[in-house]
Structure 1
């Protein structure tokens, strides 16, 4: 049979189209845009590379492209805004998962319905809710940082205190008792926070199950839980049990205060335990303990521990990505029970309850059971929305005014609500 030129050209075009389709169906690699810490905990350490088995089975390589947090968001959002992108999976902070991203990233509900991740009920629920916008899921959690209560048992012992406070009211009393000058001349404040920004103060308000902004976008900072939190900080400030220069202290400053014994207690990320006990930098290695934030007396029957905040990174698929089925397959692999455990052995904050059952995790993380208890009830500090940064600035401004005595706590929180409500739309 002889082919005419037109038939030959048409056949060649169809073959080329088929070849292109085949190539699209089975890419040679997937590209992940992430922070460098994500690559580290996913690929190196005691647990090994959690993506290696998937690459071996599929024949698809995994390419990590890493940035610092700010540049990562900027580059990822720019790529997701194009008509098409080579990015297959991008890492997002829960605070970046705002309503406008619904136009940039793929809703994952249909993927979950057709081909769900392994044992979804094993994933801590607060993190799933934190990446759900208007009832639709846009990311899978991968790495978390949850809040805990750190205390210097040597300093408490010097003041005759043998155990950490069991309620938030007792915390206030212990903080006052632990405000003194040590025998070596070091002045000690009883309680410390890395600033009175909303993510830090919300941890105290959660002792009364409080919120700044509710999931249904109501500003409730002037209700009793938050007012009580601000009142407690004002009380400690007046007593000298909270730093006079609290507004000027940065993240590294509060770390040094704990390492050198200038503060007895702090609420901060549980992972700070390692820094506070670092034998190369801390004067109290092995003596700074980490546990859960105590609840108020009135909520003792409702919560065993305060439903503190959790912040986390999640994995998302750009809506303009070319290899969505393969990206979903890899995300499922990285969130499997085995991969979550391996990443935790590499130093990751695990997002699954079952990971904390492993004896290797318990040996590596001395506060593992406390962290698990928090994560069962933890929530993001506030829902992500487009004006969140402005709301955060307003919170800091009003909270500082109240702690410094420029306004009463109730007046400051009333003013905050009045100023924030227009930002909520």
Structure 2
């Protein structure tokens, strides 16, 4: 059973700050299923509670039900598959926005046409596109993690390098120069990644504007950009500038390598800057800088920065929700320019360009301008689809074989395309 949509008169009244008797009768509270971090950044911190004003105007409470990532997806999808659910807004990762969810969540295009969110062009386009399936929008972004280039300026200075590399080719050269033994006897490897999984390698391929799988579901990993990325990693591995045990290094171990100076440079989420410079754990507090991933020399005129990956959480409305119009009203509130700024002051990764203009954000995020530059061109690492996990496994197997020299980069990527394309339908 699909419930008929309520009249938008009540919703418009809510948007105008009026008390709607019918809306109050419809719901005394709205239920949000999310990760606990979403509740924290939405309700706690310098910016305050971004839902409080909406609740005060409408007389409707907001109930947060929080889970870890895996249990959240399981519970949310189960609730959304019911004939009727008490869940009104659910948080989804972009990787969970797969075609099968089109039967579970409400398309938002009609809402956007009739009662759009404030200044939708201010929201970074790569994240909006990442929640569209079959030309329809099923969610709106709320919190992001974008990739950046981190470098230890003290280690670079010891090798006579006074500025970060400006191209991806120069990055490879700097990585080799920064593979050495320091005066205190500590060995340093020039470049590090948390494994050669597709989300990590795509950041390098994007220096040539490359893809693993295109939005129209074609595997293009054997084209020049991805082959270039794998070749770069293979060359660094042979030169000793990429760890011999790269396949076994976890994300947490990457933190330690950067904090202790075992690695000079890494491509990882920009938010890792705070961890790398943690004065309680880092031997280089304030000396590990974060900037954009450099483009290749040949694309320097096309892109100012590499169109690196962005991963994000978005908000969606279950089709079985009893309060869709109210849910949309609250989502609009949570995505307004003011709310986005308040959530950013609470520690959220903002999804609006304008948020980065605020001096408070620029003060607390030293790489704010670099992050904004990335988000203007960033894209999800690949489109979400039902066989994505298998495709990811195949990528890791072939990329590791190439970096270790078991196959040439071109052979490995050719084999990858043959294995992945049948999964794409």
Alignment of 1:326-337 (within 5 A): 326-337=326-337
Alignment of 1:170-249 (within 5 A): 170-249=170-249
**Counterpart check, 1:393 vs 2:393:** yes
Asked whether the equivalents of residues 267 and 293 of structure 2 are also in contact (C-alpha less than 8 Å), the reply is yes
Residues 113 and 25 of structure 1: is their aligned pair in 2 closer, same or farther, counting only changes over 3 Å? farther
SS in 2 for 1:241: coil
SS in 2 for 1:117: coil
Asked whether the equivalents of residues 24 and 58 of structure 2 are also in contact (C-alpha less than 8 Å), the reply is no
Partners in 1 of 2:288 and 2:215 — Cα distance? 35
Asked whether the equivalents of residues 23 and 326 of structure 2 are also in contact (C-alpha less than 8 Å), the reply is no
Asked whether the equivalents of residues 127 and 379 of structure 1 are also in contact (C-alpha less than 8 Å), the reply is yes
Deviations 1:29-52 (A, max 9, x none): 000000000000000000000000
Q: Tell me the equivalent position of 1:46.
A: 46
Task: Please state how far the C-alpha of 1:185 moved relative to its aligned partner.
Answer: 1.1
Q: Tell me the equivalent position of 1:4.
A: none
Task: Please state how far the C-alpha of 1:25 moved relative to its aligned partner.
Answer: 5.1
Alignment of 1:31-42 (within 5 A): 31-42=31-42
Alignment of 1:308-323 (within 5 A): 308-323=308-323
Q: Tell me the equivalent position of 1:10.
A: none
Partners in 2 of 1:191 and 1:278 — Cα distance? 20
User: RMSD between aligned alpha carbons?
Assistant: 0.9
Deviations 1:73-95 (A, max 9, x none): 00000000111100000000000
Asked whether the equivalents of residues 195 and 249 of structure 2 are also in contact (C-alpha less than 8 Å), the reply is yes
Asked whether the equivalents of residues 32 and 87 of structure 1 are also in contact (C-alpha less than 8 Å), the reply is yes
Alignment of 1:20-419 (within 5 A): 22=22, 26-419=26-419
SS in 2 for 1:389: helix
Q: TM-score, normalised by structure 1?
A: 0.95
Q: Tell me the equivalent position of 2:420.
A: 420
Asked whether the equivalents of residues 24 and 322 of structure 1 are also in contact (C-alpha less than 8 Å), the reply is no
Task: Please state how far the C-alpha of 1:26 moved relative to its aligned partner.
Answer: 3.1
Deviations 1:128-172 (A, max 9, x none): 000000000000100000000000000000000000000000000
Asked whether the equivalents of residues 24 and 323 of structure 1 are also in contact (C-alpha less than 8 Å), the reply is no
Q: TM-score, normalised by structure 2?
A: 0.95
Partners in 2 of 1:323 and 1:152 — Cα distance? 51
Asked whether the equivalents of residues 79 and 87 of structure 2 are also in contact (C-alpha less than 8 Å), the reply is yes
Tell which structure's C-alpha radius of gyration is larger.
Answer: 1
Structure 1: which 4+ aligned runs deviate by more than 4 Å? 21-25
Deviations 1:305-346 (A, max 9, x none): 000000000000000000000000000000000000000000
Gap runs ≥5 in structure 2: 1-20
Gap runs ≥5 in structure 1: 1-20
Partners in 2 of 1:33 and 1:413 — Cα distance? 39
Deviations 1:378-419 (A, max 9, x none): 000000000000000000000000000000000000000000
Q: Tell me the equivalent position of 1:6.
A: none
Asked whether the equivalents of residues 25 and 323 of structure 1 are also in contact (C-alpha less than 8 Å), the reply is no
Partners in 1 of 2:211 and 2:360 — Cα distance? 35
Asked whether the equivalents of residues 24 and 59 of structure 2 are also in contact (C-alpha less than 8 Å), the reply is no
Partners in 1 of 2:402 and 2:25 — Cα distance? 59
Partners in 2 of 1:189 and 1:25 — Cα distance? 63
Partners in 2 of 1:60 and 1:25 — Cα distance? 10
